[in-house]
Amino acid sequence: MSLFWRIFLLNAAVLTAATALLLLGPVTVSTPVLLTEALILTAGLATLLVANAALLRIGLTPLARLARAMTTIDLLRPGPRPMVAGHGEIADLIKTFNTMLDRLETERATSSARALSAQEAERRRISQELHDEIGQSLTAVLLELKRVADQAPAPLRTELHQVQEATRDSLDEIRRIARRLRPGVLEELGLASALKALTTEIPAHSRIIARRQLDTDLPPLGEEAELVLYRVAQESLTNTVRHAHAQRLDLTLRRSPTGVELRIRDDGLGLQGALEGSGIRGMRERALLIGAELTLGPSPEGGTEVRLTVPTRSGSN
């Protein structure tokens, strides 16, 4: 039965009952209206309104739940679907909404996978160009500076050596950026070594003491899952260095009952109700691509904790 006919029949039943009571009941209305008659009519009207409201509330409650779900749904944080309740059009509407959510999540996952794949390809290209072109050019400049410095007078030689050091620092920075863009250590030495390299690259001026606990007997994850773990750790460390004002950072990679867990904790300022930026949204999108669970919240030390749980195919140790 459609929603229109259900509401119509509910109101028709209420009005029919009221009419029957007036026609068949012993109640009469005098002119002018007596107080007792007015009280009886008022009580009858209130009863009819309450009964009608209760019937409509029962019939429309599933729509209210669906409206709440529509306002709180977040495709980056999948949750349980609204329960299919009610009858007729209401149940069909909830089923259609759930089907739409499934389709949107699938389409978002597909488009995000393409975008992230293109992003990784672009990072590899830029990293290669930095290494092959700019890196080689700076290396040639360093060699030329050394040749000129060896032949220059003593007063000028000191200044040329300073230029050499500045150029060498720039070359080291370019190589560091290239490594961050394309984690070659991840491909060559594995996830644990790549995460270890991340903690060693924390700038000295941040004065952050990094501690790490990395299990080596991890279950097989696959290249895509390892890259997601690496990128989430990289973004978390970058946020800590830039925004947390932390003194200590703990990075843990370990087996979990369902797969592998990555945890990054710091003792900094914490989230403090800040809106999620593009970095955190990117972390959530990457986690969704491999069916992982990403949570962000306060750490026991008062800072921030990022936890990424990646399930293995078997879901066991």
pLDDT of residue 138: 86
Mean pLDDT of 205-230: 88
Per-residue pLDDT tens digits for 99-138: 888 888 778 777 777 777 777 778 778 877 887 788 888 8
Q: Dig out the tokens for 281 from the structure.
A: 């949204």
286 or 90: which carries more pLDDT confidence? 286
Domains of the chain: 3-105 (no CATH), 185-317 (3.30.565.10)
Alpha-carbon gap, residue 268 to 301, rounded angstroms: 8
For residue 316, pLDDT beyond 50: no
Torsion over CA: 191, 196, 200, 206 (sign): positive
- Minimal CA–CA distance to 235: which of 198, 196, 197? 198
Write the pLDDT tens digit of every residue in 244-254.
888 999 999 99
Mean pLDDT of the chain: 81
The whole-model pTM stands at 0.63
